[in-house]
Structure 1
């Protein structure tokens, strides 16, 4: 049971990271819109690079989250199997 609990705890931490990165991407996209309207090209390139980096980070974390989800399911199934007569 501790393994399952640890996996779920890790899952929650990853979810927090996913939400944080999504918020950061949205914030950067708002800045991107402002810079586009102000036609500040140098700053625009910088924020676009930041958005690209955060999207890569998000993809990595999403992949990790998916793998952890599979581990949680397997751990739960193991618990269920072990407690069946």
Structure 2
């Protein structure tokens, strides 16, 4: 009985530090918006997360339903994370 308790406590401690990343939180917020709720592509979600990064990475090429571009997805997330870092840095400065 005692060992099971220690294992359970260990699992709880390990999982406590794992929070959602800012991109995951923002994505979930955007997916809940009424305008993006019925969009079966990532276009609406990506535009909501960052219009600037969406234009930079995808330009005027809209994703079709079910279409996946792993390289562009990765580039978009890198752009979004960099934008978030810059916003946080600007917030701390002023």
TM-score (structure 2 length as normaliser): 0.36
Task: Give the structure, 1 or 2, with the largest relative contact order (CA under 8 Å, sep 6 or more).
Answer: 1
Give the greater-gyration-radius structure (CA).
1
Give the TM-score taking structure 1 as reference length. 0.39
